[in-house]
Chains A and B, each alone.
Chain A
Amino acid sequence: GAVVSQHPSWVICKSGTSVKIECRSLDFQATTMFWYRQFPKQSLMLMATSNEGSKATYEQGVEKDKFLINHASLTLSTLTVTSAHPEDSSFYICSAQNPGQVYNEQFFGPGTRLTVL
């Protein structure tokens, strides 16, 4: 149990286009999902916390108009990178929190590698 999927697993796009990444919790309902960004050989940096039915909470320095997050249902959150540029190329990872667990464990998706040409 507690499986989280991401789609697509990798995407290549041209500069100036928008890319949508989906994060789904497959066997539990996640009231909270998190989006992380990971640069090569570096740790994960939290971008935003996504709560079902409300606006996402963005970390300092993350542009909310560039990284649009929608958490429309208890099993799906989407991250849209708008007007992507080469510096947005990165590995984007989502996680979902199972509210049924006391210690707030998060389950991670496999990640999406975005390359902007």
Chain B
Amino acid sequence: GNSVTQMEGPVTLSEEAFLTINCTYTATGYPSLFWYVQYPGEGLQLLLKATKADDKGSNKGFEATYRKETTSFHLEKGSVQVSDSAVYFCALIPLPGTGRRALTFGSGTRLQVQP
């Protein structure tokens, strides 16, 4: 079956530090990969996505590259801000016809950025 594994949190960083949140996946074929962010008390927002190998998704200074050879989709940001404090979820959807259409989520990684 499909699965997503994320590094456990919380991750605590100082403002302007470099961020990496690791994500690896198991799936049939080439799924679409996503990072979602959930701010306190809110629903999920799509942060970025990649739909095929070597694609790089980017948004708001965050980026992640779809690595087929390592089945990874690590999230990075060069300089975090306090406003980036949230929970980040890595997720996948399999290709149509290769599995259920619902998202499979990782466990989430809480990021805390201190001023």
- B-contacting residues of A (Cβ < 8 Å)? 6, 32, 34, 41-44, 46, 49, 93, 95, 97, 102-111
Contact = CB atoms under 8 A, between A and B. Distances in A.
Contacts of B23: none
Tell me whether chain A's interface is mostly helix, strand or loop, or mixed.
strand
Nearest to B87: A41
Interface residues of B, number: 22
Interface in B77-112: 89, 93, 96, 100-103, 105-108, 110
Contact of A104 (B43, B45, B96, B106): B96
A44 to B, nearest CB: 5
B108 to A, nearest CB: 5
7 contacts: A6-B43, A93-B44, A103-B51, A104-B101, A105-B32, A105-B93, A110-B42
A110 B44 CA distance: 7
A42 B107 contact: yes
A49 B107 contact: no
B108 A105 contact: no
A49 B13 CA distance: 38
Given A42-B107, A105-B46, 14 more contacts: A6-B43, A32-B101, A34-B102, A43-B106, A93-B43, A95-B103, A102-B51, A102-B96, A104-B93, A104-B101, A105-B32, A105-B93, A109-B43, A111-B43
A61 B89 CA distance: 23
Contacts of A109: 43
A103 B45 contact: no
**Of residues A93, A106, A109, A111, which shows the largest number of chain B Cβ atoms within 10 Å of its Cβ?**
A106
Contact of A43 (B34, B42, B102, B108): B108
A42 B103 contact: no
A97 B49 contact: no
Contact of B102 (A46, A93, A111): A46
Nearest to A32: B101
A49 B100 contact: yes
